[in-house]
Amino acid sequence: MGKNHLFVQAVCKFLLGVVIVGLLLFLSSGSLYYWQGWLLMGILFIPMFCAGFVMMAKNPELLRKRLNAREGEKDQKTVVKLSGLLFIAAFVVAGLNWRFGWCVLPNWAVWVAAGLFLACYLLYAEVLRENTYLSRIIEVQENQKVIDTGLYGIVRHPMYMATTVLFLAMPLVLASPFSFLIMLLYLPLIAKRIKNEEKVLEEGLEGYKEYKQKVKYKVIPFIF
């Protein structure tokens, strides 16, 4: 895949994401004055845009991997589909919650959640820097090695640690406790994905079993 084609693919997927999230939030809220929706789109897509340009310039192969979201395993396809449905439901419910004023979180809670979201975005960027083998599908890549330094010396799946907090912070940025309850359903899905991923890595990645003995926790230190 040439750089020009990769650039076009990345831009198209980015714009598609902006349009879909915008439609879900503002059609359900029935207003462009839903400022929490604009806040989420800003802290979600502006860093994503910047990160895409950095990867395009410094590591286009990593960007290509991140754009490749075609899962090969049936169980993981189901996890991806259910996760997508959760996001749609959470965004729509957040818009409806704002429109009808069911239970809107105070502004201070929204800003705290936004700060947490950005902090985890930085953590996510650090994970991408540490592990260039990361893709969006579960696989063992050619010449892949076990990464056991940095965040990977603390938990085995720091990417999932960052993304889980990101996903749980989103509904709070949108001021919707009901959407937060919906996104809690993501936890068993990510647990299932991790279980399957570790099985694949144990079978196909040399040294991963030893790494599991060295780093005991999967996502949260001293807890899980």
90-120 residue pLDDT tens = 999 999 999 999 999 999 999 999 999 999 9
12-26, 63-77, 148-162, 178-192, range with the lowest pLDDT? 63-77
- Is 224 contained in some domain? no
Report the domain count for the chain. 1
- Is 80 contained in some domain? yes
Beta-carbon contacts of 97 under 8 Å, excluding residues fewer than 6 positions away, are: 103, 104, 174, 175, 176, 178, 179
- Is 64 contained in some domain? yes
- Is 160 contained in some domain? yes
pLDDT at 79 over 90: no
pLDDT at 12 over 60: yes
Give the CATH number of the domain where residue 157 resides. 1.20.120.1630
Give the structural domain span for 146.
Answer: 3-214
| pLDDT band of 193, cuts 50, 70, 90 | confident
- Is 135 contained in some domain? yes
For the chain, give the mean pLDDT.
Answer: 87
- Is 220 contained in some domain? no
pLDDT at 57 over 90: no
- Is 219 contained in some domain? no
Predicted pLDDT of residue 136: 52
Predicted pLDDT of residue 119: 94
- Is 222 contained in some domain? no
Q: What is the DSSP string of 171-213?
A: HHHTT-HHHHHHHTTHHHHHHHHHHHHHHHHHHHSTTHHHHHH
Question: Other C-beta atoms within 10 Å of 44: how many?
Answer: 19
Exposed e or buried b per residue across 50-88, where buried means at least 16 C-beta atoms within 10 angstroms of its C-beta: ebbeebbeeebebbbbbbeeebeeeebeebbeebeebbe
Q: Average the pLDDT over 26-41 and give the result.
A: 97
pTM over 0.85: yes
C-alpha 147/C-alpha 60 separation (Å) is 20
